[in-house]
Chain A
Amino acid sequence: MNIRHKTILPWLLVSPYIIHLLVFVAFPILFSLVLTFNKWNIISPMEYIGLSNYSRILHDRQFWKAVGNTLIFLSIHIPLQIIVAISLAEILNQKIKLRPFFRGAFFLPVIVSGVVVSILWQQLLGFDTGIFNRMLTSIGLGRIGWLIDPNWAMPSIAIMATWKNVGLYIVLFLVGLQTVPKAYYEAADIEGATKWQKFWHITLPMINPTIFMVVILSTIGGFSLFIEPYVMTGGGPLNSTLSAVLYIYKQAFFYYHMGYSATLGIFFAMIILFVIIIQKKFIEK
Chain B
Amino acid sequence: MCIKLILLSLFLSGICVFASSCSKNQKNDGELLFWSSNNLPEIEFAQDMIETWNASNSPHINFQPVPEGQSSEEMILAAVVAKTTPDIYANMRQGDVEFYAESHVLIPLDTLDGFLEFMYARCDSSVMDEIRSADGHTYQVPWKINPIIVLYNQDYYDELGVVDYPRTYSAYLSLAEKFKKDMDGDGYVDRWFGNTESNVLWYQRFFNFIPLYYAASGGSPLIENNKAAFNNEAAVKVFTFLQTLYKNQYFPIERLAARRDPFLYGDIATKWTGPWDVPFIQKFKPDLNFNAHPMPVPDDYIGVSHTYADPKSIVIFKYSSNPQKAWDFLQQFLSIENDFKFFSLSKQFPRRKDLLTDSIFVNYLKRNPQLAPFAKQAKYTHGISDTPYMKEILALISQEYEACVVYGKKEPRQAIQDAAQAVDLLYLNLSQ
Contacts and interface: CB of A to CB of B under 8 A. Distances in A.
B258 interface: yes
A233 B257 CA distance: 10
Nearest to A2: B1
Interface string B180-222: 0000001110100000001111100000000000000000000
A248 B260 CA distance: 31
Contacts of B257: 119, 122
A254 B395 contact: yes
A202 to B, nearest CB: 46
Contacts of A123: 258-259
Tell me the interface secondary structure of chain A in the complex: loop
Interface in A137-183: 137, 143, 145, 147-148, 150
B407 interface: yes
A128 B200 contact: no
A237 interface: yes
B48 interface: no
B254 A44 contact: no
Given A129-B259, A237-B406, A148 B253 contact: yes
A43 B81 contact: yes
Interface in A103-127: 119, 122-123, 125-127
B10 interface: no
Given A128-B252, A130-B258, A237-B407, A43 B199 contact: no
A148 B104 CA distance: 42
Given A43-B105, A238-B409, A137 B255 contact: no
Interface string B361-405: 000000000000000000000000000000110010001001100
A150 to B, nearest CB: 8
A40 B94 CA distance: 22
B264 to A, nearest CB: 14
Interface residues of B, number: 40
Report, as a range, how many residues of chain A touch the other chain: 20 to 34
B103 A43 contact: yes
Contacts of A285: none
13 contacts: A41-B99, A43-B105, A122-B258, A126-B258, A127-B252, A128-B259, A129-B259, A143-B188, A234-B201, A236-B198, A237-B200, A254-B395, A255-B395
Given A9-B4, A122-B255, A238-B403, 13 more contacts: A5-B1, A42-B80, A43-B81, A44-B103, A125-B258, A128-B188, A128-B190, A234-B199, A234-B201, A237-B200, A238-B409, A250-B395, A254-B202
Interface of B: 1, 4-5, 8, 74, 77, 80-81, 99-100, 102-105, 186-188, 190, 198-202, 252-255, 257-260, 391-392, 395, 399, 402-403, 406-407, 409
